[in-house]
Structure 1
């Protein structure tokens, strides 16, 4: 059957439109932002198996991607290699958006009567709503049918897409935030060649960087808030003993969470050593306008290519309460729509097995900076070429599952970004903002999450 197929949905339309309204386009998501979801308080009944006995893979499938980390070229190279090894299945790579939000919106629109892909990139803040809507299938049956060795995937990354006894996506373009810094600025300030161990330590370093005569605007640049605040600021919240949420309970207004965000606001206004990126803090670092920033591992290759100085990379700093684990995973996986023929689902899974093979995950990581997702992947050549990549691989062992409020609540990431923008660009009162955010997030949970669990 053709890979291009229209879909007349069997979803409850009112429920879909209500959920869709909660995720309207309000702010562009960054090309990374981390997932992490494990089966918790939801029913423990595993999804029903899908029988692929006697099904022949479709001869042609379409893969929707936003090409995270400028990955279109390496993705096409992997597709070409797949064609050479399995000529019976043709994969068409379609750029379905410039970022995770655009591709998700297109996929969402297709549910109501458009043309669905056979494979789609699903980021951390989008896949769960499609689980709730019944738009994607559990992959467990396909994993068995095509022989995907789940035990060889890095446990944290695979677990990010597990819920209610099912595996809903396979990890692919996966990342963590890293602390990037300009080694020349570090040397000029007389600092040790490493990332700070804690944010308190960096607060001590920052004035030395500001006065080192490097011409920087700020010692540190906070990431663009629309795409990164909900993701990367979890590092600060956890380091102070706070969080956006604890399981389903919203805790953004807690004393610890407010203290963490107050530190961030003080870095901009009271102490003046930090700025806020308008678009991409990685570009600000590469241009030499700032001495350090936090950005995704998916930005690693781009930062190294654009910078005319030696770039240092280190793990995220800890806080006064916790120094580990204070780093979230991030990035995207690939999932398969429900309302496509079994032949296409089987062909898509066959390609996913090849796409995420140990060899291809190293090739993808080398071209982008994302992390190899397989345990057996030989990363020696990758680390030899780009030593900074080892930081992300090592940091993976101490990552933490993301707060459910960010990855499970439709539209919550945008709301977090708005609140953080008020705090860091308007000097709004932190407690007042977090009280308001809690009310907003509670509304999202009550209306769009709880009824669908």
Structure 2
């Protein structure tokens, strides 16, 4: 397949992204990263990436606004009732609508197939899955517009993980854990890091989570040509820089690391060294009131990336919604590595079309494969500041809205409980490209075979291992006005890489903006 054919295929795919230009100068020396203060793609890689206006939380639905007041004195969770009996009393099938977005290709097919199978499996509930757009943000914007008029809302909504704070604060969500307890579902069946990420004050809010993490993808052929071990990818950003220098010096790729300047990576790097993005334990012990990301380590991180950019080792792109430029850099072989969501692995598999086998893409890669393709995808853990694989659970989540009737709320839980069944959670992993959220799925023979015999599985196994090892006590930031926060941090990232702003100045500006946003949101 030619480069132009690969590019055309890539443009035809449904690319999502969380929210380019570049510059190139001669090598000027590196800026190493210090310790923190606390302890592909192929022929057409693409994928569903994560991303993440606001105002103070309104009062609507069946709960009071500011749903964070869910823990009573003594530490016992005070959960609302889940009206399971309302569905039992229904005399006709209960119809529920699901709003989703940010899914394309095999992930969208998995979503639609899940709804179809659920409807066929029983006769009490009929769910209709309605696609609201190509990105998570489109669904959130539609929800925000309809929120003051609850009758316009669906019964279930699928949103990015970053919307958790706002959804809890608005008071329009029935915590799924209320239904889990009422229905005898043991939340210990869920992956600890996923459960921690989507819990507030000890209560799990969504009923199902499509979890992903960032990871490294790289071209094994390029690594082989540059004298790098294609079966030993770089595990830290220092090692990424060293690999990029070898790739450039060998003339293998012009700008070896294709990099979308996404605030998600910034948050993951800092959280990985124990630094919070906002105060109050990253917003987990209480609503965030101040930014805490403006640290010497953060400034050094941005400086490190800026130096890579100046040295021609970074192919930097703005994190524009729906952009595929960072993928095209790999398809054209201008770059050899990219940091992206684990969900991209399924799109990579689909685009490969069987040109190489899973074994050839995996540990059995050798010189003979170069004769078959110039693009052989490899995967590795997320390269951290100190060590590899330091991530928190990200992705999307399904919420039950309490603005529906009791029967609709109970019906919504039945659909989410259906997805929690191991065979359906497995489907989200093997066909949808998301990571297993139900622990028992990890031990299934079919899943382990998928990791060995499917190109997507070979790549995804890196992210599975990351999630399994992730520290539940280091969840990502919980911020009510997340879109405004994200805009400020994204602006700092791009100001450094594209506008020549010094890291300290960019972080100072972002900190002031976020502090004002949080103050306004909290009514101060």
- TM-score bucket (shorter structure): 0.7 to 0.9
- TM-score, scaled to structure 2: 0.73
Q: Distance in 2 between matches of 1:43 and 1:120?
A: 21
The 3-state SS of whatever aligns with 2:85 is: coil
Report Cα offsets for 1:106-151 as digits up to 9, x if no partner: 1111112251111110212112112111121222221133443322
Specify whether residues 289 and 147 from structure 1 end up closer, same or farther in structure 2 by C-alpha distance, changes over 3 A only. Answer: farther
Residue in structure 2 matched with residue 208 of structure 1 by the alignment: 246
Residue in structure 2 matched with residue 23 of structure 1 by the alignment: none
Query: Are the counterparts in 2 of residues 59 and 88 from structure 1 also a CA contact under 8 Å?
Result: yes
Specify whether residues 283 and 367 from structure 1 end up closer, same or farther in structure 2 by C-alpha distance, changes over 3 A only. Answer: farther
Q: Distance in 2 between matches of 1:284 and 1:339?
A: 45
Q: Within 5 Å, which residues of 2 pair with 1:349-428?
A: 349-377=413-441, 378=444, 379-384=447-452, 385=454, 386-400=457-471, 401-404=474-477, 409-428=482-501
Q: Distance in 1 between matches of 2:102 and 2:134?
A: 8
Structure 1 unaligned segments of length 5 or more: list them: 1-26, 36-40
Residue in structure 2 matched with residue 294 of structure 1 by the alignment: 339
For 1:141, which of 178, 191, 203 is the aligned residue? 178
Specify whether residues 357 and 282 from structure 1 end up closer, same or farther in structure 2 by C-alpha distance, changes over 3 A only. Answer: farther
Residue in structure 2 matched with residue 111 of structure 1 by the alignment: 147
Q: Within 5 Å, which residues of 2 pair with 1:121-136?
A: 121-136=158-173
Q: Distance in 2 between matches of 1:185 and 1:395?
A: 25
Q: Distance in 1 between matches of 2:229 and 2:178?
A: 51
Give 1:332 deviation, angstroms. 0.7
Report Cα offsets for 1:36-55 as digits up to 9, x if no partner: xxxxx977323442152631
Query: Are the counterparts in 1 of residues 217 and 379 from structure 2 also a CA contact under 8 Å?
Result: yes
Residue in structure 2 matched with residue 315 of structure 1 by the alignment: 381
The 3-state SS of whatever aligns with 1:181 is: strand
Q: Give the total of aligned pairs.
A: 412
Matched, 1:261 2:306: no
Residue in structure 1 matched with residue 28 of structure 2 by the alignment: none
Q: Distance in 1 between matches of 2:413 and 2:448?
A: 28
Matched, 1:277 2:341: no
Q: Distance in 1 between matches of 2:292 and 2:178?
A: 37
Give 1:235 deviation, angstroms. 3.7
Higher mean displacement: 310-319 or 243-252:
243-252
Residue in structure 1 matched with residue 85 of structure 2 by the alignment: 54
Specify whether residues 405 and 293 from structure 1 end up closer, same or farther in structure 2 by C-alpha distance, changes over 3 A only. Answer: same
Give 1:66 deviation, angstroms. 0.8
- TM-score, scaled to structure 1: 0.84
Report Cα offsets for 1:59-118 as digits up to 9, x if no partner: 211111115253221222222221221122111010012111100111111112251111
For 2:103, which of 68, 79, 96 is the aligned residue? 68
Query: Are the counterparts in 2 of residues 61 and 347 from structure 1 also a CA contact under 8 Å?
Result: yes
Residue in structure 1 matched with residue 131 of structure 2 by the alignment: 95
Query: Are the counterparts in 2 of residues 180 and 311 from structure 1 also a CA contact under 8 Å?
Result: yes
The 3-state SS of whatever aligns with 2:86 is: coil
Structure 2 unaligned segments of length 5 or more: list them: 1-15, 20-47, 53-67, 282-287, 353-372
Specify whether residues 181 and 238 from structure 1 end up closer, same or farther in structure 2 by C-alpha distance, changes over 3 A only. Answer: same
Query: Are the counterparts in 1 of residues 236 and 388 from structure 2 also a CA contact under 8 Å?
Result: no
Give 1:168 deviation, angstroms. 1.1
Query: Are the counterparts in 2 of residues 146 and 353 from structure 1 also a CA contact under 8 Å?
Result: no
Query: Are the counterparts in 2 of residues 178 and 313 from structure 1 also a CA contact under 8 Å?
Result: yes
Q: Distance in 1 between matches of 2:351 and 2:481?
A: 35
RMSD: 2.6
Specify whether residues 242 and 147 from structure 1 end up closer, same or farther in structure 2 by C-alpha distance, changes over 3 A only. Answer: closer
Q: Distance in 2 between matches of 1:54 and 1:199?
A: 53
Residue in structure 1 matched with residue 32 of structure 2 by the alignment: none
Q: Distance in 2 between matches of 1:266 and 1:192?
A: 25
Higher mean displacement: 62-71 or 189-198:
62-71
Matched, 1:173 2:210: yes
Query: Are the counterparts in 2 of residues 154 and 373 from structure 1 also a CA contact under 8 Å?
Result: yes
Residue in structure 1 matched with residue 191 of structure 2 by the alignment: 154
Query: Are the counterparts in 2 of residues 158 and 170 from structure 1 also a CA contact under 8 Å?
Result: no
Q: Distance in 2 between matches of 1:60 and 1:394?
A: 38
Higher mean displacement: 329-338 or 41-50:
41-50
Give 1:405 deviation, angstroms. 6.3
